Amino acid sequence: MMTSVLKKPFILILLASLAAISSARSQEVETIQLPELGSPSDQYLTPSDEARLGREFMRSVRKTGKVLDDPLITEYIQQLGDNLLKQSEAVGQKFTFFVIEKPEINAFAGPGGYIGIYSGLILATQSESELASVIAHEIAHVTQKHLLRAFDAANRMSGKTAALLLASILVGVAGSPDAGLAMATGVQAGAIQEQINFTRSNEEEADTVGIQILAKSDFDPRAMPIFFERLTHASRLYESGIPEILRTHPVTSNRIADALGRAEKYSYRHFPGNLSYHLTREALRVRQFKDPGKAVEHFISGLKEGRHLNQEAHEYGYALALSSDRKFQKAEKIIEDLLRENPSQIEYILAGANIAGKSGNHEKGLKILDTYYSLMPENYPLAIAYIQALTTAKKLGKAREITQQSITLRNNEPRLYRLLSKIEELDDNQAESHRILAEAFVADGELAAAVQQLEIALNSANKSDFYLTSRIESRLNKLRDLQKAQNKSDNNKK
């Protein structure tokens, strides 16, 4: 029998719930839980609906959590995730992998293929295979439609119960565990027990699929049970009792044994390490220190006592810490030595340019970026650093050229449009600046904001510039039509 919830536009209920949660909360995300229960069903969430829900979810995460905006670290985690996706059931689909800069050891999968990894988790891993195992596990939650099952299960309940459960699901993904628990207490006891049962089942299923993805992606399939077992044994060291990932992804001795048994089906062999993994860890570690001097002390003692996973990466972290402590000459010497041994390592290139710029030698920093960009024009973090340096140096023509080239390679990257918009603003091209900023909002899925920017652009444009005004009007009409079609689709679901 159809419940009252089924008579309403399901996606709108979810979006409204997420928006309400976002506006009601004033503190940062402390933990993001992965909700799981129910049976698989795509009846109420079309791919378009899920994409929209994903964008709303991500906007909420950005408002309430500290999403890391470092292009180098973001690019690394995205590439790692993409490599795993190629060996999953989601091959060819777009996923967004990002880092939450918080010390908690946790990870989560949201709607629309958004997967977040806490910086604390990256630092807790001891190999790239361990990090990959967590990401593969989260990918499996998505490919096995565990989140959609939760929405489907809630949709089949009575109106009041469904509303409470939907709220607890969305708070669990985008908010604090305490708030999610508080809301969940209002849900019927049977629904809560169903959630517990399906959580256990989904975790086991994600383990199985995740291990398969790991093995196919040339990572150690044993890394998953090894990592969770180490966290379980070390749980007494954490003030909260256990790491959050063990709360949101319950681990039992049986689950570890089962995962290890599945992993043992794959033959033993050596898995070479990835230097970028180690460099990313050390860059994140430097960022954890509020006092740069303490960071320098940490890396000095680590090098003296051999307390590190990778000496080269530890030296890189030392250079970053020295730079943060304004000891530029020492930092520069270390990076130069590292570059001599590894001249194409992008982390060293960007560190060298950054140190030069911070020490006041902007021309040297710009020269470094110019030289390496000519050799690696498709490297995204390098292009971003080069564009920013050119913009700072007021070399707007060159900055515009490089940004436009980068957009041809990544035409759906909001950051590039925002950089180009800033360049046009500095060059006193206000109408063009707003027109381009609209494209950044389009890439983010925010049509209303994009339309608003185009309206400002049209009002700012020189009416004698027929080409520009026609271009703005054409794009504005297209986006308004898209808005109408979207609104009509929503109304048809009522």
SS3 category, 216: helix
Active-site choice (36, 104, 138, 347) = 138
SS3 category, 469: helix
141 known ligand binder: yes
Rounded to an integer, what distance in angstroms lies between the CA atom of residue 56 and that of residue 475?
Answer: 23
Any idea what the Cα angle at residue 108 is, between residues 25 and 127, rounded to 5°?
Answer: 135
Tell me if residue 220 is catalytic. no
Any idea what the Cα angle at residue 258 is, between residues 247 and 261, rounded to 5°?
Answer: 140
Rounded to an integer, what distance in angstroms lies between the CA atom of residue 372 and that of residue 362?
Answer: 16
Active-site choice (56, 75, 207, 432) = 207
CA distances from 277 to 3, 272, 482 (A): 49, 12, 41
Tell me if residue 490 is catalytic. no
SS3 category, 377: coil
Which of 48, 123, 90, 128 is CA-nearest to residue 82? 90
Residue tagged 């918080």 (tokens): 102
Rounded to an integer, what distance in angstroms lies between the CA atom of residue 362 and that of residue 367?
Answer: 8
Residue tagged 């995460």 (tokens): 61
φ, ψ of residue 483 in degrees (nearest 5): -60, -45
Report which secondary-structure segment, H or E, holds 328.
helix 328-341
φ, ψ of residue 225 in degrees (nearest 5): -65, -35
Helices (H), 144-242: 146-155, 159-174, 177-184, 189-216, 223-233
Paired with 116 in beta bridges are: 98, 108
Residue positions in the annotated binding site for Zn(2+)?
A: 137, 141, 203
Residue positions in the annotated binding site?
A: 137, 141, 203
User: Which residues have a catalytic role annotated?
Assistant: 138, 207
